[in-house]
């Protein structure tokens, strides 16, 4: 039987959860004996397989229309979707923006910042995504496995992926439930 | 006794217990957030809901009284789903982002409760409504975004500290914690005791100076005795890599209820004085480093050249027993120095010893304050000194309590009492005579005139005097402004009256070890006199202007201090000293409790304590320090304080 396929992507996150994933060090070799690691932001393939993957992983919350598209696509192409890290699970640090609102945040960043002169302008190119209220992944798509943490430990990520690789849903326990 | 079952297990609970008490007695547990064993149950968080057979709905076990025949179930489908629901409601109400809170990962009861229920995401999205962050207070921050409205802080501020600063404004989800009538904490009636910060279960109230410096489990905890007055409260010194991080209380301490005041909690972390690192000698007007050996040789020379009246030796009252006795024996027995005294002008310990000669063991221990129903406070300002004793009185304003206070300056100790007679000044006799007269006759001709001087609240003074016959457990607290040797006649009259009405007497005796000093023969309230050689063993303490003048007029000035100060500025020989945290030893509290203080920090090499130096000098001079206080002291104490 073919190894289950795993794909990941990052949204409004700092990539720290992917770094934590890599912190499993040599265990990644063990893991890749059990799974077929496909598209990730740090491997060559960039989009999850069109014919679908078994496990999709999303790091980061949803802060704009592009994040939303990526999340919807990952959900569509994954049998099991993991929300990886506090940003994906709760909204995380980017969700701090919600206290002032996207408009205020854009104004502060592009017009009122200390290094902006009169030519400061909020980018409005139609090709750009629209800035939104920051949401956890589960507010946009159904999530099957929540792995909170900032970042979740490499041990927790290894546990979750190796359980899924062996056909079991991972437990929520002291290892996997550490919000930081 | 009440008979009931918890999870089918039959138990017998003493009358007055709650269902939560029953659950604990049966050996089970339910999660709680707003509950605290030292505070009256409140029932705001609802996390402790349990099933009681026959009840209309789930019941909060912390507030429901246990009843005969109850059948309680703590872990059913209903209770488990209720807990998850309650927690998700709590999380959604405000902004509980863990990743940038300093309480995360072990120090937040809300987070831990969520972990225990296996909650790993929020089922209800928060409203993202920002709440006010109050950063106006110099010692701590209030972040309303993290508050769960458990009211533990409100309750400790009113029920245990008696200051009634914190409260709630508005209702429902608009409820918000406020200080006084809605002013910034830093401008409020807050007395910076920090007890609210310690009892907050989340990261809503947190300490400024220690935030983000480690979880509780990252810090080394050392239980010690507070150095900042003679009450001897327990405090826990929290350090990390030999650095002082924070001072907390020991809440389950039976004695004095595990509270701390501003001095005990914050004085050490606010220390800004510069530490002395090496011995220094003054050459050509400037202090220059000198080796310890040379410094000690210098002292030995001075001691051998002079004696008797030509040398004066003064020591701080913030030092342990071995040091005080060692100092006394070395200078008095060893070198026949007549002037061995304690810094400070607090005569209260001397007064206590004097009164014990007539009355025997007349004083009581501090726990007399716990169930007192009346207090007569004379010559003590319990809002600045011995504050925890003040808390024990202030919080009684919620009960039927009578307060008489004569204090040198106006203070807020009695502001909430209905029955109170407050007098600012030193008219102790006028008030005592009034009480004696009222007790004997039920009235007094001078009463009206004295009462009128209380001004607007004169009617409360009448209520106080009328309550006199009902006093069951009165306590007299006497402080340094009244406890002077020049007031002995008046004090005797007061003690006699106290004994007549069955009142307990407590005399508050100044500094950490001020009580022990005279018991070891060290003179209190010395008149600081200049000498040929002056030895000032200050350690980390302070001394007054009189002491400084006397030092400046002395010919050879030796100062042993942890910090640079005006005394080291004037000194000829300066020795670096360990601080209170870097030494261990025994201290005698004002009510005779002998307590061991543990070392919490390691001093740098070359900083020696006063006891270390006494030992070096003793070795050099062939003298051995007397250390028999363990056998001598208990007897003396029991002659003054009733067991």
Does B212 contact A at CB distance below 8 Å?
A: no
Assess whether pLDDT exceeds 90 at residue B255: no
Q: Residue B120: which of A99, A135, A172 has the nearest Cβ? A: A172
What's the pTM?
A: 0.93
Assess whether pLDDT exceeds 90 at residue B254: no
pLDDT (mean) for A41-58:
94
A93/B100 touch (CB, cutoff 8 Å), yes or no: yes
Q: Which of A101-105, B361-365, B394-398, B449-453 has the lowest mean pLDDT?
A: B449-453
pLDDT at B211: 95
pLDDT at B100: 87
DSSP B103-162: TTTTS-HHHHHHHHTT--S-SS--------EE--SSSEEEEGGG-----HHHHIIIIIS-
Residues 6+ apart with CB under 8 A from B409: B381, B424
Shortest Cα distance, chain B CAs vs residue A104, angstroms = 14
A95/B128 touch (CB, cutoff 8 Å), yes or no: yes
Q: Residue A179: which of B111, B118, B125 has the nearest Cβ? A: B111
Query: Is the distance from CB of B140 to CB of B207 less than 8 angstroms?
Result: yes
As for the ipTM of the complex, it is 0.92
Of residues B450 and B501, which shows the higher confidence score?
B501
pLDDT (mean) for B120-131:
91
pLDDT (mean) for B67-94:
96
The tokens for B177 are 């914690």
B130/A99 touch (CB, cutoff 8 Å), yes or no: yes
How far apart are alpha carbons B160 and B142 in whole angstroms? 20
A146/B120 touch (CB, cutoff 8 Å), yes or no: yes
pLDDT at A1: 67
Residues 6+ apart with CB under 8 A from A117: none
Q: What is the pairing mode between strands B419-424 and B402-407?
A: parallel
The tokens for B280 are 């220094």
Shortest Cα distance, chain B CAs vs residue A8, angstroms = 20
Q: What is the pairing mode between strands A78-84 and B573-576?
A: unpaired
Chain segment B260-286, per-residue pLDDT in tens: 999 999 999 999 999 999 999 999 999
DSSP B555-605: SEEEEEESB--HHHHH-SEEEE---GGG--EEEE-TTS-EEEEPP-S-PPT
Query: Is the distance from CB of A103 to CB of A60 less than 8 angstroms?
Result: no
Instruction: Quickly state the pLDDT bin for A46 (edges 50, 70, 90).
Output: confident
* B118: chain A residues, CB-CB within 8 Å: 172, 177
How far apart are alpha carbons B382 and A1 in whole angstroms? 80
Chain segment B293-305, per-residue pLDDT in tens: 999 999 999 988 9
Chain segment B30-52, per-residue pLDDT in tens: 999 999 999 999 999 999 999 99
A136/B122 touch (CB, cutoff 8 Å), yes or no: yes
Residues 6+ apart with CB under 8 A from A152: A17, A20, A84, A85, A176, A178
pLDDT (mean) for B417-442:
93
pLDDT (mean) for B90-97:
93
How far apart are alpha carbons B139 and B209 in whole angstroms? 7
Probe site for chain A from B121, B133, B143, B202 (most A CB atoms < 10 A) = B121
β partners of residue B505? B363, B476
Chain A residue with the nearest C-alpha to that of B118: A172
Chain A residue with the nearest C-alpha to that of B91: A90
The helix (run of H) or strand (run of E) holding residue B543 is none
Assess whether pLDDT exceeds 80 at residue B308: no
pLDDT (mean) for B559-576:
97
Assess whether pLDDT exceeds 90 at residue B563: yes
Chain segment A119-136, per-residue pLDDT in tens: 899 999 999 999 999 999
Chain segment A22-40, per-residue pLDDT in tens: 999 999 999 999 999 999 9
Probe site for chain A from B106, B128, B130 (most A CB atoms < 10 A) = B128
Instruction: Quickly state the pLDDT bin for A178 (edges 50, 70, 90).
Output: confident
Assess whether pLDDT exceeds 70 at residue B241: yes
Ranges of H-type helices in B468-502: 488-500
**DSSP code for B641:** B
The tokens for B356 are 């014990």
The helix (run of H) or strand (run of E) holding residue A115 is none
Instruction: Quickly state the pLDDT bin for B309 (edges 50, 70, 90).
Output: confident
pLDDT at A180: 73
pLDDT (mean) for B394-422:
94
Asked if the bond preceding B42 is cis, omega within 30° of 0, the reply is no
How far apart are alpha carbons B641 and B249 in whole angstroms? 26
Chain A residue with the nearest C-alpha to that of B94: A99
Chain segment B474-495, per-residue pLDDT in tens: 999 999 999 999 999 999 999 9
Chain A residue with the nearest C-alpha to that of B132: A99
pLDDT at B157: 97
The tokens for B28 are 């089970």
Chain segment B149-200, per-residue pLDDT in tens: 999 999 999 999 999 999 999 998 899 999 999 999 999 999 999 999 999 9
């Amino acid at each position: 039987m073919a190894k289950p396929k795993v794909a990941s992507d990052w949204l409004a996150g700092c990539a720290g959860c992917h770094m934590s994933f890599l912190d499993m060090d040599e265990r990644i070799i063990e893991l890749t004996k059990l799974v077929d690691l496909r598209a990730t932001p740090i491997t060559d393939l960039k989009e999850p397989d069109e014919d679908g993957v078994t496990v999709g992983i999303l790091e980061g919350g949803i802060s704009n229309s592009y994040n939303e598209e990526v999340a919807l696509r990952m959900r569509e192409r994954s049998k099991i979707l993991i929300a990886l890290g506090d940003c994906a699970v709760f909204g995380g640090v980017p969700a701090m923006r919600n206290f002032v609102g996207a408009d205020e945040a854009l104004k502060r960043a592009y017009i009122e910042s200390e290094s902006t002169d009169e030519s400061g302008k909020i980018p409005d190119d139609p090709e750009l995504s629209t800035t939104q209220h920051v949401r956890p992944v589960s507010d946009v798509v159904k999530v099957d496995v929540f792995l909170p943490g900032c970042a979740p430990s490499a041990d927790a990520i290894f546990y979750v992926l190796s359980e899924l690789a062996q056909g079991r849903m991972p437990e929520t326990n002291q290892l996997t439930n550490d919000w930081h | 006794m009440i008979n009931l079952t918890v999870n089918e297990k039959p138990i017998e609970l003493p009358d007055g217990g709650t269902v939560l008490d029953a659950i604990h007695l049966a050996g089970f547990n339910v999660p709680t957030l707003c509950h605290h064993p030292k505070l009256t149950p409140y029932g705001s968080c609802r996390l402790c809901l349990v099933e009681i057979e026959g009840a209309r709905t789930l019941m909060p076990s912390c507030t429901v009284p246990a009843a005969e025949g109850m059948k309680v179930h703590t872990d059913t489908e209903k209770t488990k789903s209720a807990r998850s629901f309650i927690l998700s409601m709590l999380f959604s109400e405000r902004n509980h982002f863990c990743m940038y809170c300093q309480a995360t990962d072990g120090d937040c009861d809300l987070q831990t409760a969520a972990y225990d229920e296996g909650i790993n995401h929020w089922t209800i999205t928060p409203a993202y409504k920002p709440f006010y962050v109050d950063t106006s207070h110099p010692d701590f921050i209030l972040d309303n975004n993290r508050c769960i409205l458990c009211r533990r802080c409100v309750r400790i501020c009113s029920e245990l500290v008696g200051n009634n600063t914190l409260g709630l404004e508005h209702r429902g989800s608009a409820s918000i914690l406020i200080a006084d009538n809605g002013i910034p904490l830093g401008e409020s009636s807050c007395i910076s005791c920090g007890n609210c910060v310690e009892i907050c279960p989340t990261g809503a109230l947190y300490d400024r100076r220690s935030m983000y410096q480690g979880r509780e489990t990252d810090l080394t905890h050392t239980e010690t005795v507070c150095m900042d007055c003679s009450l001897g409260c327990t405090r826990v010194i929290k350090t990390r890599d030999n650095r002082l991080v924070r001072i907390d209380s020991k809440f389950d301490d039976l004695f004095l209820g595990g509270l701390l005041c501003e001095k005990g909690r914050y004085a050490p972390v606010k220390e800004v004085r510069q530490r002395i690192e090496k011995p220094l000698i003054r050459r050509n007007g400037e202090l220059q480093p000198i080796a310890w050996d040379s410094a000690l040789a210098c002292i030995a020379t001075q001691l051998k050249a002079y004696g008797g009246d030509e040398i004066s030796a003064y020591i701080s009252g913030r030092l342990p027993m071995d040091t005080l006795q060692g100092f006394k024996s070395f200078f008095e027995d060893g070198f026949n120095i007549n002037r061995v005294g304690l810094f400070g002008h607090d005569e209260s310990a001397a007064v206590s010893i004097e009164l014990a000669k007539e009355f025997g063991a007349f004083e009581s221990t501090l726990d007399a304050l716990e169930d007192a129903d009346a207090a007569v406070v004379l010559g003590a300002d319990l809002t600045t000194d011995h504050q925890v004793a003040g808390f024990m009185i202030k919080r009684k304003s919620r009960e039927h309590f009578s307060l008489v206070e004569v204090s040198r300056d106006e203070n807020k100790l009695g502001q909430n009492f209905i029955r109170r007679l407050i007098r600012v000044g030193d008219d102790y006799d006028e008030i005592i005579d009034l009480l004696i007269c009222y007790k004997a006759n039920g009235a007094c001709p001078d009463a009206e005139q004295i009462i009128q001087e209380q001004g607007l609240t004169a009617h409360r003074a009448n209520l106080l005097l009328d309550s006199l016959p009902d006093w069951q457990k009165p306590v007299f607290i006497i402080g340094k402004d009244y406890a002077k040797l020049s007031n002995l006649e008046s004090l005797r009259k007061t003690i006699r009256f106290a004994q007549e009405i069955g009142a307990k007497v407590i005399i508050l005796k100044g500094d950490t070890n001020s009580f022990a000093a005279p018991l070891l023969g060290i003179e209190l309230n010395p008149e600081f006199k200049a000498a040929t050689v002056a030895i000032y063993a200050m350690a980390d303490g302070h001394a007054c202007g009189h002491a400084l003048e006397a030092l400046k007029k002395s010919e050879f000035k030796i100062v042993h201090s942890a910090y640079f100060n005006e005394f080291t500025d004037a000194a000829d020989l300066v020795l670096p000293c360990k601080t209170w945290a870097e030494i261990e030893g025994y201290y005698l509290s004002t009510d005779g409790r002998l307590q061991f203080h543990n070392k919490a920090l390691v001093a740098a090499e070359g900083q020696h304590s006063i006891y270390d130096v006494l030992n070096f000098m003793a070795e050099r001079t062939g003298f051995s320090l007397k250390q028999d206080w363990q056998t001598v002291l208990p007897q003396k104490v029991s002659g003054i304080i009733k067991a």
